[in-house]
Amino acid sequence: MVRVIMHGCNGAMGRVITGLAAEDQELEIVAGIDVNPGPDQGYPVFPSLNDCDVQADVVVDFASARAVDGLLDYCEAHGMPLVLCTTGLSEEQVRRVGSASEKTAILRSANMSLGVNLLMKLVQDAARVLAGAGFDIEIVEKHHRRKKDAPSGTALALADSINSAMEDQYRYTYDRSHRSEPRDPGEIGISAVRGGTIVGEHDVIFAGTDEVITFNHTAYSRAIFAKGALSAAKFLAGKEPGLYDMADVVGL
């Protein structure tokens, strides 16, 4: 049985993960961390990891970027494996993740769903064929009105996947309102839409002369991310220090 500490247990994703974990025979959430009050989840909740006295095998994080520094400090100091799902990290925090992974196992992914991680591989293959044929590449992501970071971590991860397949020849463009000129073929355009209760939708568009190919992923509920996080927790428990991602979990 894998023992989990849920970091951000009273948030929307924390509650979804708690519900699914209750049905999982291989995993148990033994404690939660949250500064905000919430309903009784069936396990003790502490305001910080330093206050938690419950033994566990792995931390699953769905909190906020401002809580990541303390989270990394704790996991590094205690050799605690960490499934890091929070997005919107600063460049300094991303570097900090890398250094902390030298001391403990960290799985960081911009998106925890199986479908999105398969999509990252598919768009790499498409870019190798289409970019050389002159196709332009655009990414459009849509999320609910309460999402704070833009563009989404998933949109950036999709762009990074394409760029890595193409030897980093592209730069990213987030806003064209300040310029009046034709599109630069060396750019990947990334656009963000915020509204309503959209869980998450990503389109990767390859636009050529007289034809367009679009790869789309639509999330209809947060459950797909919760399932991925639980699979990641079971995968990561007991692993050697290092930096892992969902491709390791799903075998891509």
User: Annotated binding residues for (S)-2,3,4,5-tetrahydrodipicolinate, as ranges?
Assistant: 144, 153-154
> 33, 5 in Cβ contact below 8 A?
yes
Q: Is 121 a catalytic residue?
A: no
Task: Determine if the peptide bond prior to 182 is cis (ω within 30°).
Answer: no
Which residue in 147, 202, 227, 234 is the catalytic one? 147
Q: Is 209 exposed, middle or buried (0-12, 13-18, 19+ CB in 10 A)?
A: exposed
Q: Which residues are annotated as a binding site for NAD(+)?
A: 8-13, 34, 85-87, 109-112
Which residue in 142, 143, 202, 217 is the catalytic one? 143
For residue 28, the cross-strand partners are 3
Q: Which residues are annotated as a binding site?
A: 8-13, 34, 85-87, 109-112, 144, 153-154
What does each C-alpha distance from 10 to 24, 66, 210 come to in angstroms?
A: 19, 16, 49
Catalytic amino acids?
Answer: 143, 147
